[in-house]
Amino acid sequence: MKLPDELFRIAEDIRTMRIRGAGRIARAAASGLAIVAEKYETGDRDELKEAILEAARVLVSTRPTAVSLPNAVRFVVLRGLNAYEAGADIAELREAIKTSAEDFIHNSKTAVERIAEYGARRIRDGDRVMTHCHSTAAVSVLLKAWEQGKRFEVFSTETRPRFQGRITAAILADAGIPVTMIVDSAARFFMESIDAVVVGADAVAANGAVVNKIGTSAIALAAHEARVNFFVAAETYKFSPETMLGTLITIEERDPAEVVDRDYLEQHPNIRVRNPAFDVTPPEYIDIIITEQGVIPPQGALMILREEFGWFTRSNLPDFLRGPPSPAHVTSY
């Protein structure tokens, strides 16, 4: 089975974080499936179905924590399987996959716009807002509030070790928003002067816990201690249906060389370096989750999951799309 080279380039870009951010990852995965539907050379509908499933396996193996990735793949693949089982010929099957991918990408972008509208209402004139890492949804909230004429200041953490917070700071500064960049460990130092924290999410569990970039939970704890509002901006496709069944979200650990250079590791072979990419913020530290469907308390996550993913426990998806990646699929170094 010779899948298009473009699919493997997308998968590698996701795995190596050249494509980063849960929304961009999800949209890239959807477009990867559309590429396979369009370019995989076969005249046999059964063979095309297997090619789509193999492409789905390749994509979901890249980043185990970003729930948006398997949710995007599920959305596209499930529609394709439904068309296949309804007797679609190969041209109709190709079109069903491509249309599903286009629908997901459109819905994803629309979701961010609606989140921006809802979230901007929570930002007030004169606020000092802290953010962590880079989230399209969180940034959109701040840009929308600024566009509405509200004037505020943002404190953006660098977000080590990949420094995604520098991306956030640059985007906000380019829009004219006053930005102060701080090292991650200074978050508690500045928290007493902060009015609200706005972050994104890579995954939301059924109990309202939020998985986001490493360091988020420490900032949430500092905000809780200082009685500062902690807001999460997250599209509903970042909610994890597996957690309705009691499955834990896998936390990805990445290459130690992202933290210290390889020369140091070679010089000090007895030092073990761990590099978890994400952590879990418990629901009691979260005030609200801002979704495209509206603002909910973290306890409302289960309601969203039941509405959005009620099909999950009874769908015709293959096993590898009905649970977390197997250990062989987990990116761990």
Q: Quickly tell me which residue has 């597996």 as its tokens.
A: 242
pLDDT for 315: 67
Query: What is the arrangement of strands in the sheet containing 210-213, beginning at the earlier edge strand?
Result: 203-204, 210-213, 278-281
CA distance 205 to 122: 23
The residue-averaged pLDDT of 307-316 equals 72
CA distance 264 to 255: 14
The residue-averaged pLDDT of 307-319 equals 74
0.75 exceeded by pTM: yes
Show which residues are catalytic: 133, 202
pLDDT for 329: 31
Least confident span in 159-168, 174-183, 323-332: 323-332
The residue-averaged pLDDT of 3-10 equals 97
* Identity of the residue numbered 108: S
pLDDT for 333: 23
Q: Where in the chain is the domain with CATH 3.40.50.10470?
A: 114-309
Least confident span in 153-167, 204-218, 234-248: 234-248
Q: Using DSSP, state whether 92 is helix, strand or coil.
A: helix
Handedness of CA 223, 225, 228, 230 (dihedral sign): positive
pLDDT for 314: 57
Q: Using DSSP, state whether 125 is helix, strand or coil.
A: coil
Q: Where in the chain is the domain with CATH 1.20.120.420?
A: 5-109+311-329
Per-residue pLDDT of 110-148, as tens digits, reads 999 999 999 999 999 999 999 999 999 999 999 999 999
pLDDT for 250: 87
The residue-averaged pLDDT of 201-229 equals 97
The residue-averaged pLDDT of 299-325 equals 77
CATH superfamily of 114-309: Translation initiation factor eif-2b; domain 2 (3.40.50.10470)
pLDDT for 323: 58
The residue-averaged pLDDT of 218-245 equals 95
pLDDT for 191: 98
DSSP-derived secondary structure for 227-293: T-EEEEE--GGGB-GGGGGTPPPPPPB--GGGTS-HHHHHH-TT-----BSEEEE-GGG--EEEETT
CB atoms within 10 A of CB 44: 10
Q: Are the beta carbons of 209 and 281 closer than 8 angstroms?
A: yes
The residue-averaged pLDDT of 159-181 equals 97
pLDDT for 322: 72
Q: Are the beta carbons of 111 and 292 closer than 8 angstroms?
A: yes
CATH fold of 5-109+311-329 reads Four Helix Bundle (Hemerythrin (Met), subunit A) (1.20.120)
pLDDT for 330: 32
The yes-or-no verdict on residue 326 having pLDDT over 70 is: no
The residue-averaged pLDDT of 12-34 equals 94
Percent of the chain with pLDDT over 90: 85
Rounded mean pLDDT of the chain? 93
pLDDT for 317: 79
Percent of the chain with pLDDT over 70: 95
Identify the band that residue 20 occupies on the pLDDT scale cut at 50, 70 and 90. confident
CA distance 125 to 279: 31
Terminus-to-terminus CA distance in the chain, angstroms? 29
| Tokens found for residue 36 | 């396979």
